Amino acid sequence: MGDRHVIFKQCLKELAEAAGMSLTFMAKPDAARAGSSCHIHCSLWRDGKNAFPGTQQLGRAKVSDTFRWFLGGWLKHVPDVMPFYAPTINSYKRYVDASWAPTRLAWSYDNRTAGFRVVGEGQSLRIECRIAGADANPYLALAACLASGLEGIANKIEPPDCFVGDVYAARNLERVPYTLAQSVERFEKSEFAKRAFGADVLEHYAHFFRSEVAAFDKAVTDWERKRYFERI
């Protein structure tokens, strides 16, 4: 799926160029419009069957322990691996309340204000994570998804209660980071991320993302010129 994702993007960019146009997969190319996401639908399969359905009633669906614990781990560890879902400065401009992008960590059924949306039933039962942006590296995003969910199964991490209602209005829920700088700080200190990906990988990506933040901090943007050029 990671390969398909990358080939699809490259194909569209080449088609756009051939037509004399440009195409972007920025998470938020225009502040006045909704952003671009990369929703990840995930289920685990064993012996040709979906391991998520079961006999336990959880809200609307009948689920297995595997489902519960995978959801619990995936949701719990989002802050630990957030740079793999939102890897650029621009990524975090997408997380705006009432914009169809999730801003808080919760799960629900068929609720597009939640970061995690459970959809389907039986063999189609799956978890949709709506947090990753269109700018995400699919290999890293999928690795983060699997590492978090499998950690949940290994440690039997229970998910929080299913959220009902408008997640944007739920101020008591944990919010996704506001900036890449916040995200990297949590990632770099995460014992889970170090254990899941290895110390060398953690150090490499922490350095990469810190370098991105440092480059942005030195940049003079169009916003600054428009706001301050004549005012100051």
Q: Which residues of the chain have pLDDT under 70?
A: none
Report how far residue 77's alpha carbon sits from residue 159's, in angstroms, rounded to the nearest whole number: 11
pLDDT of residue 174: 94
pLDDT of residue 84: 98
Q: Which helix (H) or strand (E) holds 53?
A: strand 53-58
pLDDT of residue 23: 94
Report the Cα 117 to chain-centroid distance in Å: 12
pLDDT of residue 85: 98
Residues shown for the chain? 232
Show Cβ contacts of residue 40 under 8 Å, excluding neighbours closer than 6 positions: 128, 129, 132, 141, 142, 145
Domains and CATH numbers, the chain: 2-176 (3.30.590.10)
Q: Distance of CA 74 to CAs 24, 27, 81, 142, 203, Å?
A: 28, 22, 10, 11, 22
pLDDT of residue 171: 87
Written as one letter, the residue type at 83 is P
* pTM, to two decimals: 0.94
Interval 40-96: pLDDT, tens? 999 999 999 999 999 999 878 899 999 999 999 999 999 999 999 999 999 999 999
